[in-house]
Amino acid sequence: MQENYYKPIKLAENIFHIYEPGNVYTTLIIGEEKALLIDTGYGFGDLAGFVRTLTDKPLEVVLTHGHTDHCGGNSQFPMVYMNMMDVPTYLWYEATQKTLIVEKFKRDRAAAGLPDVWPEDFDQEKWSAQHTRHFEPLKNGQIFDLGGRKEEIFFMPGHTVGSIVVFDHETGLLFSGDNISDSLWIMFDTSARLSEYVEHLMDIKLLPILGIVAAHRGIIFPISIMSDLLRTISCINPETDRTFTHPRTGQKALKHREECRAVEDIKYIYVVYDKDKIE
Ligand SMILES: [Zn+2]
């Protein structure tokens, strides 16, 4: 394993937000008896080995959704929990996007004069051929009792139809994957409709949340990020919003931005959406 490939940020006692190059985070929550890993990142490095440097407790793995930057390391674990609504998303990404992801990283890193995003011992062919060993279906409201702390799963269709969020009752932290952050991408064929997302966000807002942790940011968002998102969504206008082209797939969408009020260092909240997802 390449030294220091994964960089953990300690968010709270026994909660680590683990950064991996390529700008994605996985999160490890350690209880008295068990540990829970949220997402498996791209899986370019030895995440399972790295997790073992932080805890030796029995480990469960939960996926926030089926995109490859959250599921790429699945094969390193005997079993992963996922909302089965995201199986089509997972399979489509695995079949069509893995090669494109690798090519895009090569291109972007070379253009920026940066070293490879993966560790030196990365084997592209092996990575591309890896599959999830076993999916275990998640249930809405499922609780992972880690001993001294409980993690509750909430289904939250939005970014993808099978997206879920994880609530840590001990700290009041909500782990939101790509579903609550300063940018919401709800442009995919397998995204939910915006109205459905808003309904679920209103429900999630009722939880006693103290902070939100997203999969592409190394900070704890204040809960006002949810109001920022709702305000931005309410201002969407397909007539005036500019066209957005997905940098990897070339898919067209629309993009709207509003001022971000929740976090001083972040200027805008973005919603990238498909016109057909509005009702
Ligand atoms: Zn995603």
What residues pack around ion ligand 1 (CB closer than 5 A)?
A: 67, 178
pLDDT given for residue 131 in this prediction: 95
The strand pair at 150-155 and 7-12 is best described as: unpaired
Angle between helices 87-96 and 98-111 (to 10 degrees): 60
Distance CA 146, CA 115 (A): 38
Q: State the chain's mean pLDDT as an integer.
A: 95
Assess whether pLDDT exceeds 70 at residue 2.
no
pLDDT given for residue 247 in this prediction: 86
Q: Which range among 1-5, 7-11, 137-141 shows the weakest confidence by mean pLDDT?
A: 1-5
CA 82 to centroid of ligand 1, rounded, Å: 14
CA 65 to centroid of ligand 1, rounded, Å: 7
> 125: buried, middle or exposed (CB in 10 Å: 19+, 13-18, 0-12)?
exposed
Hey, which CATH number is domain 7-102+129-222, 3.10.105.10, 3.60.15.10, 3.40.640.10, 1.25.10.10? 3.60.15.10
pLDDT given for residue 205 in this prediction: 96
CA 148 to centroid of ligand 1, rounded, Å: 30
Q: Average pLDDT, stretch 264-272?
A: 96
In the DSSP assignment, the letter for residue 41 is -
Domain boundaries, the chain: 7-102+129-222
pLDDT given for residue 3 in this prediction: 66
Angle between helices 224-234 and 194-204 (to 10 degrees): 160
- 63-114 residue pLDDT tens: 999 999 999 999 999 999 999 999 999 999 999 999 999 999 999 999 999 9
CA 159 to centroid of ligand 1, rounded, Å: 7
CA 177 to centroid of ligand 1, rounded, Å: 7
Assess whether pLDDT exceeds 80 at residue 1.
no
Can you count the helices (H) and strands (E) in the chain?
A: 7, 16
- φ and ψ of 89, to 5 deg: -60, -50
CB of 45 within 8 A of CB of 53? no
Q: How confident is the model at residue 186 (pLDDT cuts 50, 70, 90)?
A: very high
